[in-house]
Amino acid sequence: MTAALIAFGALSALGEGSNAASAGTVGTSATVALGQDPELVTAGLARPFAGRVAGDPGDDDRATFILLRALAACLADLDSVLPAWRTRRVGLALGTSSGAMRSAELYFADPTQDSRITYGAPATEALRRLGLAPSPVVLVLCACASSTVAIGLGLRWLDQDECDVVLAGGFDAVSVFVAAGFEALRATTERLPPVPFRAGRDGMALGEGAAIVALVRPDDVTQAPLAYVTGFGASTDAVHLTAPDRSGSGLLRASQAAMREACCQDVDLVSAHGTATLFNDAAEAQAIATLLPHTQAVTHAFKAQVGHTLGASGVLESLVCVDALRRGVLPATAGDGPAEGAIRLLSQTQAGSPEAALKLSAAFGGANAALVLARSPSVAPRRAPCAAFVCRAVSVRTMPAVESLALRLRVPVDRLWQSDALCHWALAAVAALQDLLGMSLAAGVVVGSVFGPLETNALFHERLRSRGARRVEPRRFPYTSPNAVAGACAIAFGLTGPSFAVGLGQHAAVEALAAATWLVRAGDADRMVVVAVDDVGPVGSGLGSGGSSGAVALLVSSDTTCGARIGRIRLCQRLSGTAGPFGHMALLPLVEGSVTVRSWCPDARVFAEVEVDDRG
């Protein structure tokens, strides 16, 4: 499937609009917009560097402020190039790594503060203020690959006729919580600029930003698009929660899938994940060299200029590729010295004639995603969507003892104790599903959770408050990512297909089922495990959720012998309705048989429904 990219809105430490994601000026070195960050200095961090978006959010959560500006700019751009877009079916796929984490920090310190602290809170507030009612609407929580996956889902929606216009992208704001965690993992640099792929690299600096792109089918373009998105691929390492597969094989598989879909044999530009960490860069360089053994492609690492913008990084870096393709330039990467490994870096931006670019993303949980962007549409014929079927479902309503769960998973008990209750619920449910099916799952995984790891986040933040930002727990920090659950399941059960979490509101379970179905229909995976999981503790109870802890797991497959066929999917906004069922409980009917599942979230104003009893 090819989509035309016709409009965008973007913010980064470099500026707004085209300045936010510039490929640079020919004959100049890369502009670096990083520096000592006063908030991180005050917190006492040893490596307090970051790139900030300009502007005062006032009373707004900073992530909401950034997202609103990017989304409003994209809508204004869209008004100029496709004036009738509001009369068409519009879908929204957003990605974030930390969501409303800054508001959550205030709430953890004082629960009388604003309680809009969920990962989806900035997105729902932005939709409310801009008067948007998209359908479908999904929040991807795939850590640093979030917006890349969001764009990939947007491609699938256009191909499967879920909507006519896709708004896709991501956002994140810098917070002490996240900065302390990355410093504890020794992933941040002690000097500027970071030097990805070069000798002496020692890590990244954080950044904040947001970007939204508008995608339509090529036949719907009324004027020349900015570029085309011609391929998407996703995979999972299933090796380690935070460290990459040293061979780079997971990222290679995602890249191969994207290039295969784009009918692309070579590219002129590789937009690397490029965190400037020792092992990530080495694994990524190996994947690039294996994928493009005879290429003269330039590799570019934008994070060295604006910082690691987490959930926004994939879309911002894609826009740098778009700028390079449009203006005919090959961008420079910050830093001096030759590249380590068989890749090509430029010290100054050069004139060129790039025709295609490959965007790579990697994330906590071992998730990988890739996009191909090009000046021309793909010549690949459109594929007919596969049918998707639900194969059995199981629920876990009582938490198993950690010792018995470790025995079932054949892992040391100490390793399980390092994870959190949300992971334990999910692992128990997937183990029960595998036992029921009596076979290897051989799949990808999508996790839907209403609150994600908010209970774990509160514990991590308490340590931060009581002992200081430089003494947080490095072993707990990975589990503050919503994508940790997907990664833990992938590692435990060898799930090497696409993996990520979703969770815009209390309809997250139906959101996960829908996402898995889109991927199976597109052929991104023959099988996808869906895990709906909730851990409702003091934080969730304090928010008045009314939900309970538990998990449901099921398998979505293209195998026609498996259970009930999945029919219509609806993830749409409406103004009123009866709340519930909460989270994983929306999928409980599937444990008993094939019925339609639905949920409605009043906070996000999203009605979610998936018909799974359609055999037509």
- Per-residue tokens: 589: 């009917």
Give the count of beta carbons closer than 10 Å to the beta carbon of residue 17.
14
Q: Kindly report, residue by residue over 480-537, the tens digit of the pLDDT.
A: 999 999 999 999 999 999 999 999 999 999 999 999 999 999 999 999 999 999 999 9
- Per-residue tokens: 599: 């949920």
Q: Give the residue numbers annotated as catalytic, written as ranges.
A: 144, 273, 308
Mean per-residue pLDDT, 162-186 = 97
Mean per-residue pLDDT, 266-286 = 93
CA distances from 102 to 98, 342, 571 (A): 9, 40, 28
Fill in the DSSP letter of residue 339: B
- DSSP annotation string for 463-523: HHHHH-GGG--TTTGGGGSTTHHHHHHHHHHT--S-EEEE-SSTTHHHHHHHHHHHHHHHT
Q: Kindly report, residue by residue over 357-378, the tens digit of the pLDDT.
A: 999 999 988 999 999 999 998 8
Cα 51 to Cα 69: distance, rounded to the nearest angstrom = 17
Q: Give domain limits for the chain.
A: 3-374, 389-610
Strand ranges (E), 219-262: 227-236
Q: Kindly report, residue by residue over 10-19, the tens digit of the pLDDT.
A: 999 999 999 9
pLDDT at 478 over 90: yes
Backbone angles phi, psi at 525, to 5 degrees: -160, 145
Q: Which H or E element spans position 428?
A: helix 421-437
Which of the two residues, 49 and 601, has the higher pLDDT score? 49
The percentage of the chain sitting over the pLDDT mark of 90, rounded to a whole number, equals 79
Q: Kindly report, residue by residue over 432-443, the tens digit of the pLDDT.
A: 999 999 878 889
So what's the pLDDT on residue 577?
A: 60
Q: What's the mean pLDDT when you consider all of the chain?
A: 93
CATH number of this structure's domain 3-374, picked from the four choices 3.40.50.620, 2.60.40.10, 3.20.20.70, 3.40.47.10: 3.40.47.10
Q: What is the CATH number of domain 389-610?
A: 3.40.47.10
Q: Kindly report, residue by residue over 379-416, the tens digit of the pLDDT.
A: 777 777 899 999 889 999 999 899 999 999 999 998 88
Mean per-residue pLDDT, 566-595 = 82
pLDDT at 115 over 90: no
Cα 556 to Cα 521: distance, rounded to the nearest angstrom = 10
193 upstream amide cis, omega within 30 of 0: yes
pLDDT at 575 over 70: no
Mean per-residue pLDDT, 59-68 = 94
Q: Do domains 3-374 and 389-610 have the same CATH topology?
A: yes
Q: How confident is the model at residue 616 (pLDDT cuts 50, 70, 90)?
A: very low
* Total residue count of the chain as it appears in this document: 616
Backbone angles phi, psi at 243, to 5 degrees: -95, 145
Q: Kindly report, residue by residue over 208-242, the tens digit of the pLDDT.
A: 999 999 999 999 988 899 999 999 999 999 998 78
Mean per-residue pLDDT, 333-352 = 90
Q: Do 172 and 209 form a contact (C-beta atoms < 8 A)?
A: yes
So what's the pLDDT on residue 615?
A: 52
Q: Which 3 state secondary structure label does DSSP give 351?
A: strand
Q: Considering only CA atoms, give the Rg of the chain.
A: 22
So what's the pLDDT on residue 356?
A: 97
Q: Do 123 and 64 form a contact (C-beta atoms < 8 A)?
A: no
- Per-residue tokens: 333: 């990467």
- Per-residue tokens: 7: 């409009």
Task: Give this prediction's pTM.
Answer: 0.97
The percentage of the chain sitting over the pLDDT mark of 70, rounded to a whole number, equals 98
**Cα torsion through 238, 244, 249, 252, rounded to 10:** 110
